[in-house]
Structure formats: C-alpha cells, structure tokens
C-alpha cells in the first residue's frame, strides 16, 4: 500500500506553522531574558537581535511530533496507514528518540555558548558525546568496509564535521537557514524515493520549520539562529544524511554514497577552504574570521543578499545533481 502523500504535506505544514507562530513568542522571550546578539567585531548588524532561532525551530519539531503521537492513539487515520506508522515506530522509535534527545542537546549546547562562549574543547566534547549517543543507538553510516567499529567511528566523525561546517556558515542573514531548507528537502526526496516514510516525514518536518523561521531571518533579520539554531540545523542535516539507506550490504549502491556529500557540498567545501586558509596563516582552525565564501563575495562587490542568493543557488544545483546521482544508482 502506498504511503499517503498528504501526510508528508502535513509534516511540512506542521513544522512551518508551529515555527512561524512560535518565533515571535521566542523573540520576545529573548528580549526579556537578554538573550541577544550584540553588534561587534565581524558582525554586520547594527542593533541587538534576539537569538530565537534554536528554541523556535525546536518548537517546530517537538509540537507537531507530539500532535502526531496523539493522533496515532486515536482512530482518525485509516487502519492501514496507522499500522504502517506504528510498525515503523516500533522498528526505529528508539533511534528517533535518541535523535530528538540529541537535537535538544545540540540546541542547549548552542544556547549555552550564545550566553557565554565556551572553549573549543568543551564544545567539541559535548558534540562528540551527542554523536556517540546517536551512533550507539544504531544510526550509523554503512560503507564498503563492513566493520561495526569503522561504521561507529565514521558516523561520529561525520556528525561532528557537518554540525561544525553548518555552524560556521551562519554568518549572514538567511544563509544557514536557506542551506538547511535545501538540504532537508533533498534528503526528504531521497528517503521518499527509497520508501522510507518516517525519514521523509522527519526531513519535511525540519524543512517546514526552517521555512517558518526564514521570514524572520531574511532578507532583514528580526531574529537570528544563533549557535543554538545553527547547531540544531547542522546536527539534523548530519543525521538526515545517515538515515536513508544510501548504501548497505543488502543494497550495495556505490554511487549513492555521493548523495550526502553533494547535498552538503557547499558547507563542507567552505569549511575545508577556511581551515586551509587559517592553517596557511598560522591561526587556530577554530578561530573565526571573514574568509568564508559569503564574505569573499561581499568583498568582491556583491551585496549580502546577493551573496546569500548565489550560495543558495549553488547549493540547490549541487542538490539537484545529488538526486540525479541517487536516481541513477537505484
């Protein structure tokens, strides 16, 4: 039986509407609590701006999931669809729970860093702990080396890399949120083509939440993602890149493993270039600077809005190529 497409639309709408409605409330809370991003070095905004993105996005994830769980306890859905959802939750419910706890952990880590900057070592340790928990739950990358230890190590490294790559690209209005929308949509399509309806719904839920936040963040920002939001976006992109079965011993598709790399080519490529520049200049690789692609475009005469739109376009093109590669490998 084919999974009802309208439930995918409901997942996207749930994330969109909840985040759209929650962001003004969280924005006001941030102002009252003093959770603001003040203008300063390497920052282009001129007024303190609420760091409401992380809590708003988390609200857009948790509320629809809670409502979906309540619906599953009723007979609103037809029996076939309800049974399929319950079967999927029985198989992957534990993993989903760990993934959501990891999302909460990443959001709280970023919130703490927004309040009072943490040392790189402490941030990395907490990120690694969350990545280890996700890998221990069974959410792991499967590649050509059929070794549980190798899969565990690669999964942790992947989550750490993508989380930080996305985090450091949050340097202009709308940039990180837009890349998140493109990435989650591509992973939703890939999971949908593979018949993984729970992964598809989760990816569309996050895509909708990001779409609900974007009007507050681009082109002019009345709210920022902050480290809480960018950590959350990076972490979920990393996990959503693992959940679809791009490669497994039962379904060996060597070309398909390129899909996540192509979808996330922009943040990963930007991180590699920036780290190379910092090493060449003799600076710590974790020290912030203005050598990101967005900054270089602005120095060449592009406006920040034009720079962000161009990077979105490049990312969307990479995503289209990624889905083409995935289709060819099916």
Q: What would the pLDDT profile of 3-18 be if each residue is shown by its tens digit?
A: 677 889 999 999 999 9
Is the Cβ–Cβ distance between 18 and 63 less than 8 Å? yes
Residue 233 has pLDDT above 90, yes or no: yes
Residue 215 has pLDDT above 50, yes or no: yes
* CA 154 centroid distance within chain: 18
Report the percentage of the chain scoring pLDDT > 70: 93
pLDDT tens, position by position, 192-204: 988 888 899 999 9
pLDDT attached to residue 252:
56
Per the structure block, which two tokens stand in for 146?
């059929």
pLDDT attached to residue 44:
61
pLDDT band at 47 (very low <50, low <70, confident <90, very high): confident
Q: Kindly state the helix (H) or strand (E) to which residue 37 belongs, with its residue range.
A: strand 36-37
Rounded to two decimals, the pTM is 0.93
pLDDT attached to residue 1:
47
Q: Where are the domains of the chain?
A: 5-329
Q: Which residue has the higher pLDDT, 305 or 40?
A: 305
Is the Cβ–Cβ distance between 57 and 231 less than 8 Å? no
Q: What length is written for the chain? A: 330
Pick from 84-88, 116-120, 236-240 the range whose average pLDDT is largest: 236-240
Residue 147 has pLDDT above 90, yes or no: no
Where does 40-137 have alpha helices with state H? Answer: 53-72, 79-115, 120-136
Across the range 216-230, mean pLDDT stands at 95
Mean pLDDT of the chain: 90
Angle between helices 120-136 and 79-115 (to 10 degrees): 160
pLDDT attached to residue 232:
97
pLDDT tens, position by position, 172-186: 999 999 999 999 999
pLDDT tens, position by position, 87-126: 778 877 888 899 999 999 999 999 999 988 899 999 999 9
């Amino acid at each position: 039986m084919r999974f009802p497409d309208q439930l995918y639309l409901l997942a996207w709408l749930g994330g969109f509407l909840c985040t759209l409605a929650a962001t003004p409330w969280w924005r006001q809370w941030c102002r009252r609590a003093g959770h603001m991003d003040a203008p300063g070095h390497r920052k282009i905004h001129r007024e303190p701006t609420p760091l409401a993105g992380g809590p708003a996005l988390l609200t857009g994830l948790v509320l629809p999931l809670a409502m979906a769980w309540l619906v599953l306890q009723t007979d609103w859905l037809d029996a076939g669809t309800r049974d399929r959802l319950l079967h999927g939750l029985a198989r992957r419910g534990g993993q989903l729970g760990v993934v959501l706890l990891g999302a909460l952990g990443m959001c709280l880590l970023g919130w703490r860093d927004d309040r009072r900057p943490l040392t790189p070592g402490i941030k990395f340790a907490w990120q690694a702990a969350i990545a280890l928990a996700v890998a221990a739950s069974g959410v792991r990358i499967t590649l050509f080396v059929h070794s549980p230890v190798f899969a565990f190590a690669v999964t942790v490294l992947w989550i750490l890399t993508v989380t930080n790559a996305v985090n450091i690209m949050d340097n202009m209005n709308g940039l990180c949120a837009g890349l998140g929308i493109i990435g989650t949509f591509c992973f939703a399509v890939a999971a949908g083509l593979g018949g993984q309806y729970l992964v598809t719904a989760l990816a569309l839920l996050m895509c909708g939440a990001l779409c609900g936040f974007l009007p507050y963040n681009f082109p002019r920002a009345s709210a920022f993602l902050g480290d809480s939001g960018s950590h959350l976006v990076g972490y979920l992109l990393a996990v959503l890149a693992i959940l679809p079965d791009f490669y497994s011993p039962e379904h060996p598709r060597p070309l398909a493993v390129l899909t996540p790399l192509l979808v996330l080519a922009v943040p990963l490529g930007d991180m590699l270039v920036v780290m190379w520049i910092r090493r060449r200049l003799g600076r710590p690789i974790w020290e912030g600077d203005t050598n990101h692609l967005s900054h270089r475009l602005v120095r060449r005469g592009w406006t920040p809005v034009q720079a962000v739109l161009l990077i979105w376009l490049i990312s969307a093109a990479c995503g289209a190529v990624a889905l083409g590669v995935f289709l060819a490998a099916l």
